[in-house]
Structure 1
Amino acid sequence: MRSALPTFNEVWQRQFRSSFLKQGSQFSDQTTFLIGCSGGMDSMLLLFLLSEIYPDRVRAIYVNHQLQRVSDDWAVFVENYCLAKNIPVIVQNVAVLSGNLENQAREARYRAFEQHLQANEILLLAHHQQDQAETLMLRLLSGAGVQGLSAMKMIDQREKITMWRPLLDLSREQICQWVRQLQIPYVNDPTNLDTHFDRAWCRQELWHILQSRFPKMQDALSRTSYLMQDADEILNEVLAQDLAYCGHDRQLDLHKLKQLSKARQRQLLSVWMRGKSNYRPAYDMVERLQDEVIDAKVDAQGALHWNGFYYVRYQNVLHRLAQDIYLADQQPKPSDIHLKFELNQQIDLHSGQFKIESHDMGLSPELLGKVLNLRWRTGGEKIHLYGRVGTWPLKKAIQGAQIFPWMRQTIQILSIDNVMLGVFTPQGFWLAQSKYCEVGGWQPKLISSL
């Protein structure tokens, strides 16, 4: 026969309060707490506990997804409870985009949290042990790796939000008992019983079958998530070392990448492709990157498009390019422009930012203040580079300088009266031999590459 759960007062005095305060001690005395409160049993218990432990440092936020008729009533319920307890409360209506309803509702909710979080404020969520176990199981069924199986962290630091989940080790049964003992009011969300949603199906259909066979399943799955969090932390340390060795967030040296084991190559490519987004690419997308780009024939111009970026190989280096950069040469070029230069002037061009400076050898000072022409390459141009013998096709000079193919569309030619004065490139200004070259002249100096 299953033993009775300890009462709220027993656990509160012996264990939970001290654990709560120990977790909270990681934050400063000036930290305030914003509690995501849906009006459900879990979040109402969390709101009650936090207002008892940290009076005057707690606010609540109810995010109204406007997906059910009663959602406005729940907003009023949360507002009235907070008013009675003297807890500041925010009610934020959000619009949920079409698509996967669970995912879109979650995204809308977190955008609302970000909007209202103040400086030095922590977001508290009421996820409990069964939520953790369900998350791990659903991610396992979706084919997640170590990071996904880490599930939810007790304290989770993201780019814009610090989240704290104090109830994560508490069972739902214990929460139900405490809510009854403390006589805390709450609302019931019928979507928690709607098995069209994966989590509700898992809870209503699958959970009791597995638990009847494995009574300690929930504890075991929760423990696995903590083991995966340790493994993920170790893996991230290795990945940071591998990334520093192979390159940076925009490019990887393929010679160095191939010195790693196959497993480390896959993991590094996966986290590198993720960049600053929340999710890594699917396993088959990483395989496509290896097959179609990295291991393609030397003369192949393979490119893989994923999540707004293009992945291309050039000179045995793998590059991660924003879509607008990679596709820029497919866009129509604007008209030629006419401009005047003055010493110390800074100009922003497609190839970079330049500053007009005096130079031992450069363009005649007589050209300062005169109208000069700046035009795009059209193909077939030739250039006599200053200090070089003979005239070269501009295309050959660009290839010899190993300017990336996707950056060649930024190159512009400076001229006056059809006389080429020089070329603006991502590597700097190339001075052309002409009657306007003089000792003590001036040149545009590249000060930052765009």
Structure 2
Amino acid sequence: MRSTLPTFNEVWQRQFRSGFLKQSEQFQENTQFLIGCSGGMDSMLLLYLMAALCPEQVRAIYINHQLQAISDDWADFVAAQCHALNIPIIIEKVHVAEGNLENQAREARYQAYLKHLQPNEILVLAHHQQDQAETLMLRLLSGAGVSGLTAMKSLDIRENFIIWRPLLDVSREQICQWVEQCHILYVDDPTNLDTHYDRAWCRHELWHILQSRYPKMQQALVRTSILMQDADEILTEVLQQDLTLCGNTERLDLTQFAMLSQARQRQLLSVWMKGQDGYRPSFEMVERLQNEVIASKNDAQAALHWNQFYYLRFQNVLYRLTAETYLASKHVPEQNIAEICCEIGQDLTLASGQFQIQAEKMGLSMALLNQTLRLQYRVGGEKIHLYGRVGTWPLKKAIQNQHIFPWLRHTIQILSIDNVMLGVFTPKGFWLAQSDYVEVDGWLPNLMS
């Protein structure tokens, strides 16, 4: 009995070849393609198609995860097939970190792709219709939101590269038939049958149960992913408006933030915390940021750590700090006191910034140039008589008055000579102290950056 599926030649002439070429029309003439080829049925069909359609623009890459003893043999197989098709091949061994094996293998694989992608090259992957439906199902079971349920895009334009998935609308059944008709060789990965892995479990345990009840389930899930992509695009436009209203990638104005609905607040925080990372924070992590930091008392100095960043509230603004910046404020400098000599035009690289010694109408005495001056980090309890101000007041109060961030206050240093305070180096500049060393036509360290 003849199969109800169209043959490869029928689809090739009537549908697939024209659709394939139409997709590629959006690429420039000199665009090159790097095919991620595992040696499996899907990627070998893709390799065969690309070799037929644009043979001079294609090269392939095989990622050896070194997780199975036979992976070296698979590398040799892919290399031989590429040689037969006259396609250059890259064999790249990667180390898969500990943790969730599927996620870590994917991360290692994409890092290897990025290592070899050229500026004018597009990464081509062999994901098909069932892959798309499985991805949506697994993300749904993990509690993903709209962004996660978009699953995969046929043309995925990312910050540093582009992924093209020309087989995304093709069913696995069609791929199996076409590979057989075209006599394409491939390898079988036994882990695809190991239900210890989520995707294999979904494919071999869950899929047939759901499909027996809902025969059109796969097409319905794919349609849902397309609708989610539309919704995500609309949501992205709203999020961009909200981010512009509330701040930028490093800070959010909580006064403006409070004007948004709770749903928009959650979505904005989720995307803002994600930053350039591939994954959004969990729902629980966003709730912790709202409850533990945003809703904390003004003087609580609460901080939340997630994915190499710390989130803090200061002066009704929410800040996103690198771990390096935040943790530096928690360490006491090994050397609290240093000695420096200054001269006109000299650059000083200090903890609080880059300063340059410049002549000023009013400043420190020229007699102090080339003298040994003392530089000391503040320890607390110091008082300062700022030049031009009446009376002495606590240095801590001056710092607070100038709204210097708490995580930068450890960089402040006091300049003195013979126990006389000359001034203070801060992230907001050099504060000149009232003393007998202040004179007309003197000099000052001016903050450059």
Q: Could you say which residue in structure 2 is the equivalent of 1:394?
A: 395
Give the residue type in structure 1 aligned to 2:437. Answer: Y
Displacement, 1:341?
Answer: 2.4
Structure 1's 2 and 223: CA in aligned 2 closer, same or farther, altered over 3 A?
farther
Q: Could you say which residue in structure 2 is the equivalent of 1:265?
A: 265
Displacement, 1:120?
Answer: 0.9
CA–CA distance in 1 between the matches of 2:164 and 2:385?
65
Secondary structure of 1:441's match? strand
Secondary structure of 1:435's match? coil
CA–CA distance in 2 between the matches of 1:24 and 1:338?
65
Residues 9-48 of structure 1 mapped to structure 2, 5 A cutoff = 9-48=9-48
Displacement, 1:299?
Answer: 3.6
Displacement, 1:2?
Answer: 10
Pairwise CA RMSD: 1.5
Secondary structure of 2:425's match? strand
Displacement, 1:344?
Answer: 2.8
Displacement, 1:3?
Answer: 6.4
The answer to whether structure 1 residue 170 and structure 2 residue 152 are counterparts is: no
**TM-score between both structures, scaled by the size of structure 2:** 0.97
CA–CA distance in 2 between the matches of 1:355 and 1:246?
35
Give the residue type in structure 2 aligned to 1:309. Answer: F
Question: Bigger shift: 357-366 or 218-227?
Answer: 357-366
Displacement, 1:194?
Answer: 0.5
CA–CA distance in 2 between the matches of 1:2 and 1:351?
78
Q: Could you say which residue in structure 1 is the equivalent of 2:411?
A: 410
Q: Could you say which residue in structure 1 is the equivalent of 2:422?
A: 421
Structure 1's 110 and 186: CA in aligned 2 closer, same or farther, altered over 3 A?
same
Question: Bigger shift: 86-95 or 316-325?
Answer: 316-325
CA–CA distance in 2 between the matches of 1:419 and 1:51?
79
CA–CA distance in 2 between the matches of 1:368 and 1:266?
56
Question: Bigger shift: 321-330 or 421-430?
Answer: 321-330
Displacement, 1:165?
Answer: 0.6
Displacement, 1:186?
Answer: 0.5
Q: Percent identity?
A: 69
CA–CA distance in 2 between the matches of 1:52 and 1:98?
39
Question: Bigger shift: 316-325 or 274-283?
Answer: 316-325
CA–CA distance in 2 between the matches of 1:378 and 1:387?
25
CA–CA distance in 2 between the matches of 1:194 and 1:144?
24
Number of positions where the alignment pairs a residue of Structure 1 with one of Structure 2: 448
Q: Could you say which residue in structure 2 is the equivalent of 1:226?
A: 226
CA–CA distance in 1 between the matches of 2:3 and 2:254?
60
Secondary structure of 2:329's match? helix
Secondary structure of 2:280's match? coil
Question: Bigger shift: 422-431 or 435-444?
Answer: 435-444
The answer to whether structure 1 residue 105 and structure 2 residue 115 are counterparts is: no
Question: Bigger shift: 152-161 or 374-383?
Answer: 152-161
Q: Could you say which residue in structure 2 is the equivalent of 1:66?
A: 66
Structure 1's 51 and 176: CA in aligned 2 closer, same or farther, altered over 3 A?
same
CA–CA distance in 2 between the matches of 1:146 and 1:234?
11
Q: Could you say which residue in structure 2 is the equivalent of 1:50?
A: 50
Displacement, 1:345?
Answer: 2.7
The answer to whether structure 1 residue 345 and structure 2 residue 346 are counterparts is: yes
The answer to whether structure 1 residue 373 and structure 2 residue 374 are counterparts is: yes
Question: Bigger shift: 245-254 or 325-334?
Answer: 325-334
Question: Bigger shift: 10-19 or 101-110?
Answer: 10-19
CA–CA distance in 1 between the matches of 2:53 and 2:200?
32
Secondary structure of 1:196's match? coil
CA–CA distance in 1 between the matches of 2:9 and 2:179?
12
Give the residue type in structure 2 aligned to 1:217. Answer: M
CA–CA distance in 1 between the matches of 2:419 and 2:293?
42
Secondary structure of 2:448's match? strand
Q: Could you say which residue in structure 2 is the equivalent of 1:87?
A: 87
Question: Bigger shift: 298-307 or 258-267?
Answer: 298-307
Secondary structure of 2:363's match? strand
Displacement, 1:239?
Answer: 0.8
Question: Bigger shift: 180-189 or 331-340?
Answer: 331-340
How big is each residue's C-alpha offset from its partner over 1:388-422, in whole Å with a ceiling of 9 and x where there is no partner?
Answer: 01111111111111211111111011112222111
Contact 2:65 2:95 in 1 (8 A): yes
Secondary structure of 1:185's match? coil
Q: Could you say which residue in structure 2 is the equivalent of 1:359?
A: 360
**TM-score between both structures, scaled by the size of structure 1:** 0.97
Displacement, 1:97?
Answer: 1.4
Q: Could you say which residue in structure 2 is the equivalent of 1:433?
A: 434
Q: Could you say which residue in structure 2 is the equivalent of 1:135?
A: 135
CA–CA distance in 1 between the matches of 2:2 and 2:386?
88
Displacement, 1:75?
Answer: 0.5
Q: Could you say which residue in structure 1 is the equivalent of 2:384?
A: 383
Q: Could you say which residue in structure 1 is the equivalent of 2:313?
A: 313
- Runs of 4+ displaced beyond 4 Å: none
Give the residue type in structure 2 aligned to 1:97. Answer: A
Displacement, 1:201?
Answer: 0.5
Secondary structure of 1:225's match? helix
Contact 2:125 2:165 in 1 (8 A): yes
CA–CA distance in 1 between the matches of 2:333 and 2:2?
75
Secondary structure of 2:29's match? coil
Runs (5+) with no aligned partner, structure 2: none
Q: Could you say which residue in structure 1 is the equivalent of 2:279?
A: 279
Displacement, 1:329?
Answer: 3.1
